[in-house]
Structure 1
Amino acid sequence: MGLTRINILAGLFGAYIIRHPRSETHLGLPTGDELDRPLIVFDRSFRTDGSIYMNCTGDNPSLHPHWRPEYFGNAIIVNGKAWPRVTVRRRKHRFRILNASNARYFRFFFTNGLQFTHVGSDSAYLNKPVVNNEILLAPSEIADVVVDFSESKTNSAILANDAPYPYPDGNPVNEADSKVIKFFILKHREIDRWRVPKMLMQYPRPDLSSASRTRYITMYEYTSTTDEPTHLYLNGKTFEAPVEETPKVGSTEVWNVINLTGDNHPLHIHMGLFVALDQIELVNVEEFRKCMLRMNDAIKCQISKYARGKRVEVPAHEKGWKNVFKIKPEFVTKILVRFSYIHSNESFPFDATAEPGYVYHCHILDHEDNEMTRPLKFIE
């Protein structure tokens, strides 16, 4: 607790791909080192000697000399290189794009109009592919996409970014952080036998009737007298407060996640895969927020009275099973969580009830460390 953001900032992370030899090969998606690549994207700032720079002056120096609510760098890094250039063949390529930033969201798009065909998200395939012009990725979120460079009318393509920071109502990107990676596309169009099938992987459909419990999870932000953020809590509790979320191993639950802050927060639940079902805007937010800060009880504060705003449909490429989901500010997001394998309905082949247990948290690392994290313990 408190050091995750610094460990990741120092580069203590990586990626590896686990492939199922039987269930994936029949899909016919691009494979091989040249055609199936991870793109690990993040932001950093550097001193003139090349070392990583982190501002050590806090937003509230009278309360904490060093604390800042988010880290944003002024250089965009892909696979360890700043603003890299890559040569690709004029055919389909598969990219596993991971946002490994501490706090920055990316909204990726190609400046020459190329599209993304989504085949998976986080650790699961979609039921069927979805084509989009852009991808919004929160920290730790993964998009598994196919890009067909044979459709490019130019010999180069820039993958760009236009997501404000903090997201969604922060600073606009500048010229430096709007550019991510430049692809040089070989002129010769190749015979391409790789394909994107019409149907991908068929997992069990989310079943509300199987849910054994409904929970309300509320995201709070607290500020100083100068209106600068000081800390964030889930359900108004510190990380050290007694555990309250104790699901049964193999169970399914409904979580209504209430975001009372102005930021979008990527929710991550250890040991749980989940499907986002609904996103409803809160009305009379200040009135509801005051009640929640006083009582910290969504039922007693009559959440049904406030969750009556516009309903925003979950994007098609995010309707599958997720490890991370973006929780909109001043919305209630309903998710169905399964604490078992989605592929086989089997429970975990180890003792998930063993100490010290697990956690669920916001995956903006600065928020997670201060301290938008709560314990999660399983029972039989």
Structure 2
Amino acid sequence: MRLQKFVDRLPIMDTLKPRRKDEKSTYYEVELKEVRQKLHRDLRPTRLWGYNGSFPGPTIEAEEGENIQVKWMNKLPDRHILPIDRSIHNVAHQPEVRTVTHLHGSVTEPESDGYPEAWFTRDFRQVGPAFEKEVYEYPNIQRATTLWYHDHAMGITRLNVYAGLVGMYLIRGKREKAMDLPTGKYEVPLVITDRSFEEDGSLSYPTQPDDAGENLPNPSIVPAFNGDTILVNGKVWPYQEVEPRKYRFRILNASNTRTYRLSLDSGQPIYQIGSDGGLLSKTIKQEELAIAPAERMDVIIDFSKHKDSRIVLKNDLGPDAAPEDETDEVMEWRVNLPLSGKDDSRIPAYLSTIPSLRKNNIRTIRNLSLSGSEDEYGRPLLLLDGRMWDDPITEKPGLGDTEIWAIRNLTNFPHPIHIHLVQFQVIDRQPFDLELYNEDGRLLFTGPPVAPEQNELGWKDTISAPSGQITRVIAKFEPFTGDYVWHCHILEHEDYDMMRPFTVRRPKE
């Protein structure tokens, strides 16, 4: 289905209002509801699931150190709107519609982290084996940054997120407020997703892989999915009218599989000031932004020299892109509004201090692999360190331990790896002979370690691990103990079976 670009105005998500607030905490209630939402001028309303009945959900804002409580209330129907593969993770014996919300990038106790088996059904009628509490607590004991919340239910995360269960969460801080960055209506969240649609406007998602055999379950999970249409803030290829001045954009890649390579067709730079874990140490002038699923980038774009221009946010599809692929564009800015006042905002050169974790006492170096195999149906089965979700836990850092995780990608494509609880730092990447390793297990490096990109030098919770390379990250596991997870954030991979639990141990355990 071909839809005309840049005919719908960019929506801005509402900021969630608390039910009550006192000195100890701020309390919110959020209902997960089915909704029909118009995503494009020429599309009939699409049946979706949304937090508080909107896609994306409302933005939650918190101050550093503010204790936030959220009751996530499942009000969804008992039947799913997308095809469920019942052959994985005992899904056949579980309720069809289950949800559990994960605040991605949050430093949170395990009971509020959105553990995949802590799911619950409508009105908490049924709960999963790891379910512990109805009201989640987010202490926000971390730097001001851009987080996001999304569903994390075991075996159906890809479907629940694709149905619309995503939203943005901002932590504010005093330092950030004192830096004269663009604020108010000049600070804009951009939640980028991709979707495909049927002629009637409904979501289109494959029931089986393209090369499905006769014995494959139907429906069956697919190894990856890229939609043919790009949405921003829940609108297909929208436009935004802006003034000739500086704007701050909080960019989130909330797509299931797709990585974006973003640039401006005007040729002007994008100034990146922050990443997953908040402000970088210095502003980076970028010609292109590569952003994998679940990554966030905090940027400033200066429209002051582009009055009466139209500027398109482009997505580089690479040299092998099909001519008919229209996902090479994301949205359009129209610099046609009059300047409402003097622009006193600035693009600081220096932003923050980021102490290196490499100065810590390194307790453990873990050599971990990303590998591929096949299941009994011949489907791709992607694993972390060769283990399934249900295998015994092998990663057990102690509380306060600093560890290096060396992630060896033995597959033919990159994986965005997310570790819950912690913000980590990227040390380096080193290429090796992948073909030789897969032949006989010999590790032959083909080049020296390569330092991370400049915009990867801040705090991260999700990092792209390229094929045929070892990606090394360092993290300090604190301040909570208990069970968490690490996984690939390509959601089709996460659901089957590229996710593993890890446990942060109490001292002397």
TM-score of the aligned structures, taking structure 1 as reference length: 0.87
- Cα-Cα RMSD: 2.1
Structure 2 equivalent of residue 295 of structure 1: none
Match of 2:497 among 362, 371, 376: 371
The residue type paired with residue 383 of structure 2 is: Y
The residue type paired with residue 268 of structure 1 is: H
Which deviates further from its counterpart, 23-32 or 212-221?
23-32
Match of 2:439 among 286, 290, 295: 290
Unaligned runs of 5+ in 1: 293-300, 341-346
Instruction: Give the deviation of 1:64 after TM superposition.
Output: 3.6
Over 3 Å counting, the alpha-carbon distance change for 1:214 and 1:127 in structure 2 is: same
Over 3 Å counting, the alpha-carbon distance change for 1:229 and 1:57 in structure 2 is: closer
Over 3 Å counting, the alpha-carbon distance change for 1:173 and 1:135 in structure 2 is: farther
Answering whether residue 161 of structure 2 is matched by residue 8 of structure 1, we say yes
Structure 2 equivalent of residue 240 of structure 1: 390
Over 3 Å counting, the alpha-carbon distance change for 1:142 and 1:320 in structure 2 is: same
Report if the CA contact (8 A) 2:307-2:335 is conserved: no
Over 3 Å counting, the alpha-carbon distance change for 1:37 and 1:87 in structure 2 is: same
Q: Distance in 2 between matches of 1:7 and 1:374?
A: 20
Q: Give the alignment of 1:136-215 within 5 angstroms.
A: 136-152=290-306, 155-163=309-317, 171=321, 174-186=324-336, 188=338, 191-215=342-366
Q: Give the alignment of 1:317-332 within 5 angstroms.
A: 317-332=455-470
Q: Distance in 1 between matches of 2:157 and 2:258?
A: 15
Q: Distance in 2 between matches of 1:171 and 1:64?
A: 31
Match of 2:416 among 254, 260, 266: 266
Q: Distance in 2 between matches of 1:173 and 1:140?
A: 27
Report if the CA contact (8 A) 2:193-2:254 is conserved: yes
Report if the CA contact (8 A) 1:60-1:67 is conserved: no
Report if the CA contact (8 A) 2:271-2:299 is conserved: yes
Aligned residues: 349
- Helix, strand or coil for the counterpart of 1:8? helix
Over 3 Å counting, the alpha-carbon distance change for 1:173 and 1:279 in structure 2 is: farther
Structure 2 equivalent of residue 230 of structure 1: 380
Match of 2:175 among 3, 17, 23: 23
Which deviates further from its counterpart, 111-120 or 62-71?
62-71
Instruction: Give the deviation of 1:291 after TM superposition.
Output: 3.7
Q: Distance in 2 between matches of 1:374 and 1:124?
A: 26
- 1:337-372 CA distances to partner (integer Å, 9 max, x unpaired)? 1223xxxxxx34xxx22xxx1100000000001110
- 1:249-308 CA distances to partner (integer Å, 9 max, x unpaired)? 22210111100111110010001211111111102x22212344xxxxxxxx5x4xx134
Structure 1 equivalent of residue 139 of structure 2: none
Q: Distance in 1 between matches of 2:375 and 2:359?
A: 41
- Helix, strand or coil for the counterpart of 2:172? coil
Structure 2 equivalent of residue 298 of structure 1: none
Structure 2 equivalent of residue 89 of structure 1: 243
Structure with larger RCO (C-alpha < 8 A, sep 6+): 1
Structure 2 equivalent of residue 43 of structure 1: 194
Q: Distance in 2 between matches of 1:151 and 1:172?
A: 34
Over 3 Å counting, the alpha-carbon distance change for 1:180 and 1:242 in structure 2 is: same
Q: Distance in 1 between matches of 2:208 and 2:269?
A: 41
Q: Distance in 2 between matches of 1:337 and 1:172?
A: 40
Instruction: Give the deviation of 1:373 after TM superposition.
Output: 0.5
Q: Give the alignment of 1:90-109 within 5 angstroms.
A: 90-109=244-263
- 1:128-184 CA distances to partner (integer Å, 9 max, x unpaired)? 1101011000000001000001133761100010135xxxx9755745211110100
Match of 1:334 among 472, 478, 493: 472
Instruction: Give the deviation of 1:23 after TM superposition.
Output: 2.4
Q: Distance in 2 between matches of 1:286 and 1:43?
A: 33
Match of 1:131 among 247, 260, 285: 285
Over 3 Å counting, the alpha-carbon distance change for 1:289 and 1:157 in structure 2 is: same
Q: Distance in 1 between matches of 2:323 and 2:449?
A: 28
Report if the CA contact (8 A) 1:127-1:199 is conserved: yes
Q: Distance in 2 between matches of 1:363 and 1:170?
A: 24
Instruction: Give the deviation of 1:25 after TM superposition.
Output: 1.2
- 1:53-104 CA distances to partner (integer Å, 9 max, x unpaired)? 1111234433443221111111100000000011011111000100000000
Answering whether residue 273 of structure 2 is matched by residue 119 of structure 1, we say yes
Answering whether residue 486 of structure 2 is matched by residue 360 of structure 1, we say yes
Over 3 Å counting, the alpha-carbon distance change for 1:231 and 1:173 in structure 2 is: farther
- Helix, strand or coil for the counterpart of 1:204? coil
- 1:287-332 CA distances to partner (integer Å, 9 max, x unpaired)? 212344xxxxxxxx5x4xx134254331101111101111011001
Report if the CA contact (8 A) 2:477-2:504 is conserved: no
- Helix, strand or coil for the counterpart of 1:7? helix
Instruction: Give the deviation of 1:229 after TM superposition.
Output: 5.2
Instruction: Give the deviation of 1:17 after TM superposition.
Output: 1.3
Over 3 Å counting, the alpha-carbon distance change for 1:237 and 1:225 in structure 2 is: closer
Over 3 Å counting, the alpha-carbon distance change for 1:112 and 1:175 in structure 2 is: farther
Q: Distance in 1 between matches of 2:420 and 2:323?
A: 32
- Helix, strand or coil for the counterpart of 2:382? strand
Which deviates further from its counterpart, 236-245 or 172-181?
172-181
Over 3 Å counting, the alpha-carbon distance change for 1:206 and 1:200 in structure 2 is: same
The percent identity for this pair of structures is 34
Q: Distance in 2 between matches of 1:64 and 1:370?
A: 14
Q: Distance in 2 between matches of 1:96 and 1:56?
A: 33
Over 3 Å counting, the alpha-carbon distance change for 1:130 and 1:38 in structure 2 is: same
Q: Distance in 2 between matches of 1:225 and 1:16?
A: 40
